């Protein structure tokens, strides 16, 4: 691997991070059943996957575009030096999301007598660009997958803007001031655009690799097109757990999560907790921290792929060759593809003739042999593109999973006015894992309902069975931490565990069915049952029992297999359609309103 000059923050990546997950799936069910109920967790957001260590950082970004003219698509990335650029693997990102999506299980004990984003930062030029005078120095011009890119150095925001306009990149009106800030810091700019004949459906992840030791999510330039409470998730492969180094680390108050309502307020919980005094809108929660082995490598398996086979068949046999590799299946209803970029390759090298139905064409190339574009077909080019866009990224994804033993999943929600600094991340050794599977236990009797949270707190619901409507006195964040820029144990800035316990006790005491067995038990961060301090020996984040541990040894105990088969709180991750969440914090004494 080529070693490059230090880059610092790959500023501007967040301009195009919109990886959308598949819609979350949730199982319904009554609470008188013995099985767990599913808590729905929103899985839509923006995702960057980082891998870092041994003196380098990789940023894997899935570029998405909401629509419009593909020929006017553009993506601009400020960096501190010229990076290596290559095609990335959507499957790597997706597999990591799927493996770490938060699962909040609710098991049942007792009996009931009654049976009872859009993408951001993409720039279009509706007028085709206006002419300007001069321009920056062009350091590199090359292609990567379906993209052309150029690296620009020097000049001012005005001359860079002129070059962008002349070449079909139309900067936003707010861009000059933001560009000047990056220019003053010594950045160069990488400008991406789609190659001729490529469409929006052909977009694929891009990898930017550079020398350094600090992953960074650039947000300052993102604010141009950001929305309020924009969700951002970072997946980080490394050799130890990762914390934000210049933002806060926030631990949620799980009493604020509506366990009965299928976690419908998770986003709000995360938002409010990160907006709490002490984090002030710039913080991350940890959704998972642990072994990389949870990520299945099956989606990255390339053993059935053999690009040399394409050299041995005529153009009309290409889809059949793809089918033999498990990458195509064609029938009367058309073709399905075994890799998301197969259609992109076919569109480029075997384009559909004008007036011909695409399904019919690719389903029977021999039927349209006379209409195949001989000039577009280039078997050597097809083989090279197949290896570059499909095989190599999957092999690289396998190598990353094998090389880095630890995976951290971090999540935030941030608004444009809070995008004043670019968050960076640092490894912290000696901290405990954070499970993504957590279980609460609900007990019903004729007197009412009690829910026991991970960590031991018990909350009375009374006859209504509804989750409490807490007042503003109930905090949204339980703890807020910081770590030194160079790493080290996290330091507590805020810890309101005792206040949470007192408010729960007062709530329980007001209900007529409150029993002697209910109470706060061990708090989430006090060292009680399931507790963890965030320091060595604790789970370091959202402490508490895993779903497999929830109620272990007692009624309603469930294993990991029970959760999967019963759909306990499970959500289906996918960026971009994929992500899980919790939100909020307001203390009576230090309330902060947006």
**Mean pLDDT estimate for the chain:** 76
What number is the average pLDDT over the span 59-65? 77
The pLDDT value given to residue 387: 97
Q: Are residues 367 and 429 in the same domain?
A: no
CA neighbor of 539 nearest in space, from 482, 593, 490: 490
Per-residue pLDDT of 330-368, as tens digits, reads: 987 789 999 999 999 999 999 999 999 999 999 999 999
Q: Are residues 202 and 344 in the same domain?
A: no
Q: Are residues 40 and 68 in the same domain?
A: yes
Compute the distance between CA of residue 251 and CA of residue 179 in angstroms, rounded to an integer: 35
Greater confidence, 208 or 38?
A: 208
Give the DSSP letter string of 57-91: EEEEEE----SS-GGG--EEEEESSPPEEEE--HH
Q: Are residues 379 and 522 in the same domain?
A: no
Any idea which residue has 């150095």 for tokens? 153
The pLDDT value given to residue 401: 97
Please report how the helices 90-100 and 392-403 are oriented relative to each other, as an axis angle in degrees rounded to 10.
40
The pLDDT value given to residue 562: 36
Any idea which residue has 């959500």 for tokens? 571
Lowest mean pLDDT among 369-373, 423-427, 448-452: 448-452
The H-or-E segment that residue 137 falls in is strand 137-144
Is 560 part of any domain?
Answer: yes
Q: Are residues 223 and 343 in the same domain?
A: no
What number is the average pLDDT over the span 566-576? 35
The pLDDT value given to residue 515: 52
Cβ pair 208, 83 in contact under 8 A: yes
Q: Among 12-16, 70-74, 522-526, which range has the highest average pLDDT? A: 70-74
Please, which residues have CB within 8 angstroms of residue 394's CB and are 6 or more apart in sequence? Answer: 89, 91, 92, 300, 301, 302
Please, which residues have CB within 8 angstroms of residue 380's CB and are 6 or more apart in sequence? Answer: none
Q: 142: exposed, middle or buried (C-beta count within 10 Å: 0-12, 13-18, 19+)?
A: exposed
Lowest mean pLDDT among 60-69, 101-110, 295-304, 497-506: 60-69
Q: Are strands 84-87 and 205-211 parallel, antiparallel or unpaired?
A: antiparallel
**Domain span at 141:** 13-295+407-577
The H-or-E segment that residue 563 falls in is helix 560-566
Is 587 part of any domain?
Answer: no
DSSP-derived secondary structure letter, 388: I
The pLDDT value given to residue 66: 60
Compute the distance between CA of residue 280 and CA of residue 342 in angstroms, rounded to an integer: 45
Q: Are residues 412 and 368 in the same domain?
A: no
From 358, 378, 402, the end of a domain falls on 402
Q: Are residues 346 and 442 in the same domain?
A: no
What number is the average pLDDT over the span 553-580? 34
From 356, 380, 402, the end of a domain falls on 402
Greater confidence, 328 or 531?
A: 328
Confidence of residue 156 (pLDDT cuts 50, 70, 90): confident
Q: Can you say whether the dihedral through the CA atoms of 318, 322, 325, 331 is positive or negative?
A: negative
Per-residue pLDDT of 202-218, as tens digits, reads: 788 899 888 888 888 87
Cβ pair 429, 239 in contact under 8 A: no
Distances (CA, A) of 169 to 82, 150, 162, 359, 427: 20, 12, 9, 34, 37
Compute the distance between CA of residue 540 and CA of residue 529 in angstroms, rounded to an integer: 14
Domain count for the chain, please give it.
2
Q: Are residues 418 and 362 in the same domain?
A: no
Lookup: tokens for 60: 């894997």
Is 451 part of any domain?
Answer: yes
Collapsing DSSP to helix, strand or coil, 393 comes out as: helix
Distance of CA 12 to the CA centre of its chain: 17
Cβ pair 266, 393 in contact under 8 A: no
The pLDDT value given to residue 453: 94
Q: Are residues 419 and 274 in the same domain?
A: yes
CA neighbor of 295 nearest in space, from 160, 392, 407: 407
Per-residue pLDDT of 532-566, as tens digits, reads: 333 333 334 444 444 444 333 333 333 333 333 33
Cβ pair 494, 273 in contact under 8 A: no
Q: Are residues 120 and 254 in the same domain?
A: yes
| Count of Cβ atoms closer than 10 Å to residue 115 Cβ | 7
The pLDDT value given to residue 200: 76
Compute the distance between CA of residue 118 and CA of residue 46 in angstroms, rounded to an integer: 9
Please report how the helices 157-166 and 175-184 are oriented relative to each other, as an axis angle in degrees rounded to 10.
120
What number is the average pLDDT over the span 493-518? 85
Lowest mean pLDDT among 108-112, 270-274, 495-499: 108-112
From 344, 367, 402, the end of a domain falls on 402
Per-residue pLDDT of 299-319, as tens digits, reads: 999 999 999 999 999 999 999
Lookup: tokens for 77: 């990335």
Q: Can you say whether the dihedral through the CA atoms of 268, 571, 250, 471 is positive or negative?
A: positive
Q: Are residues 378 and 276 in the same domain?
A: no
Confidence of residue 181 (pLDDT cuts 50, 70, 90): confident
pLDDT of 75 higher than 70? yes
The pLDDT value given to residue 71: 65
Confidence of residue 64 (pLDDT cuts 50, 70, 90): low
The pLDDT value given to residue 278: 94
Cβ pair 7, 212 in contact under 8 A: yes
Is 582 part of any domain?
Answer: no
Any idea which residue has 């079909």 for tokens? 168
The pLDDT value given to residue 535: 37
Q: Among 69-73, 393-397, 435-439, which range has the highest average pLDDT? A: 393-397
Per-residue pLDDT of 90-139, as tens digits, reads: 999 999 999 998 877 777 765 444 433 322 223 333 333 333 344 688 88
DSSP-derived secondary structure letter, 526: T
Per-residue pLDDT of 358-415, as tens digits, reads: 999 999 999 999 999 999 999 999 999 999 999 999 999 999 999 999 999 999 999 9
| pTM beyond 0.75 | yes
Alpha helices for 101-245 (secondary structure H): 157-166, 175-184
Greater confidence, 70 or 570?
A: 70
Q: Are residues 368 and 273 in the same domain?
A: no
The pLDDT value given to residue 486: 82
Cβ pair 569, 35 in contact under 8 A: no
Is 129 part of any domain?
Answer: yes
Greater confidence, 39 or 506?
A: 506
Q: Please report, rounded to a whole number, the percentage of residues in the chain having pLDDT higher than 70.
A: 70
The pLDDT value given to residue 96: 95
Is 586 part of any domain?
Answer: no
Cβ pair 79, 208 in contact under 8 A: yes
Is 7 part of any domain?
Answer: no
Is 375 part of any domain?
Answer: yes
Lowest mean pLDDT among 15-29, 40-54, 83-97, 136-150: 15-29
């Amino acid at each position: 691997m080529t070693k490059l000059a230090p880059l610092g923050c790959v500023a501007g990546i967040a301009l195009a991070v919109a990886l959308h997950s598949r819609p979350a799936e949730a199982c319904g069910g009554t609470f008188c059943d013995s099985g767990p109920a599913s808590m729905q967790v929103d899985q839509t957001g923006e995702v960057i996957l980082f891998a870092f260590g041994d003196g380098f950082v990789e940023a894997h970004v899935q570029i998405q575009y909401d629509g419009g003219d593909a020929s006017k698509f553009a993506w601009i990335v400020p960096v501190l030096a010229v990076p290596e650029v290559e095609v990335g693997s959507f499957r790597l990102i997706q597999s990591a999301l799927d493996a770490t999506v938060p699962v909040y299980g609710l098991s049942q004990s007792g009996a009931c007598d009654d049976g009872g984003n859009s993408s951001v930062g993409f720039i279009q030029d509706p007028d085709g660009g206006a002419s300007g005078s001069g321009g920056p120095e062009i350091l590199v011009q090359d292609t990567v997958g379906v993209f052309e890119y150029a690296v620009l150095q020097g000049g001012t925001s005005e001359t860079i803007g002129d070059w962008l306009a002349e070449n079909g990149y139309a900067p936003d009106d707010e861009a000059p001031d933001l560009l000047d800030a990056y220019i003053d810091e010594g950045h160069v700019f990488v400008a991406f655009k789609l190659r001729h004949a490529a469409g929006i459906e052909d977009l694929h992840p891009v990898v930017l690799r550079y020398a350094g030791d600090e992953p960074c999510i650039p947000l300052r330039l993102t604010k141009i097109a950001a929305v309020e409470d924009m969700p951002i998730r970072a997946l980080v492969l490394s050799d130890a757990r990762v914390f934000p180094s210049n933002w806060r680390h926030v631990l949620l108050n799980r009493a604020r999560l509506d366990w009965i309502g299928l976690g419908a307020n998770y986003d709000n919980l995360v938002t409010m907790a990160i907006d709490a005094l002490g984090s002030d809108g710039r913080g991350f929660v940890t959704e998972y921290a642990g072994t990389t082995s949870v990520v299945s490598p099956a989606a990255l398996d390339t053993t059935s792929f053999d690009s040399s086979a394409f050299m041995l068949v005529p153009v009309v046999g290409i889809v059949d060759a793809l089918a033999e590799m498990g990458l195509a299946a064609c029938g009367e209803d058309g073709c399905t593809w075994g890799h998301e970029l197969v259609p992109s390759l076919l569109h480029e090298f075997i384009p559909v003739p004008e007036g011909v139905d695409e399904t019919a064409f690719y389903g029977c190339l021999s039927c349209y042999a006379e209409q195949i574009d001989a000039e577009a077909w280039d078997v050597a080019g097809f083989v090279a593109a197949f290896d570059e866009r499909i095989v190599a990224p999957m092999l690289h994804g396998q190598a990353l999973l094998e090389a880095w033993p630890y995976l951290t999943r971090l999540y935030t929600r941030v608004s444009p006015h809070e995008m004043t600094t670019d968050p960076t991340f640092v490894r912290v050794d000696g901290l405990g894992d954070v499970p993504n599977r957590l279980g609460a236990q609900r007990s019903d009797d004729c007197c009412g309902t009690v829910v026991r949270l991970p960590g031991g707190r018990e909350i009375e619901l009374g006859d209504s069975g509804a989750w409490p409507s807490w007042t503003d006195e109930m905090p949204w964040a339980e703890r807020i931490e910081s770590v030194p820029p160079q790493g080290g144990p996290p330091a507590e800035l805020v810890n309101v565990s005792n206040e949470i316990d007192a408010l729960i006790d007062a709530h329980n005491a007001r209900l007529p069915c409150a029993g002697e067995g209910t109470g706060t038990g061990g708090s989430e961060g006090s060292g009680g049952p399931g507790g963890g301090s965030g320091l060595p020996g604790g789970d370091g984040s959202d402490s508490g029992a895993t779903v497999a541990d929830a109620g272990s040894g007692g009624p309603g105990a469930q294993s990991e297999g029970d959760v999967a088969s019963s759909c306990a709180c499970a959500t289906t991750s996918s960026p971009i359609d994929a992500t899980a969440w919790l939100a909020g914090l307001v203390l009576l004494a230090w309330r902060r309103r947006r």
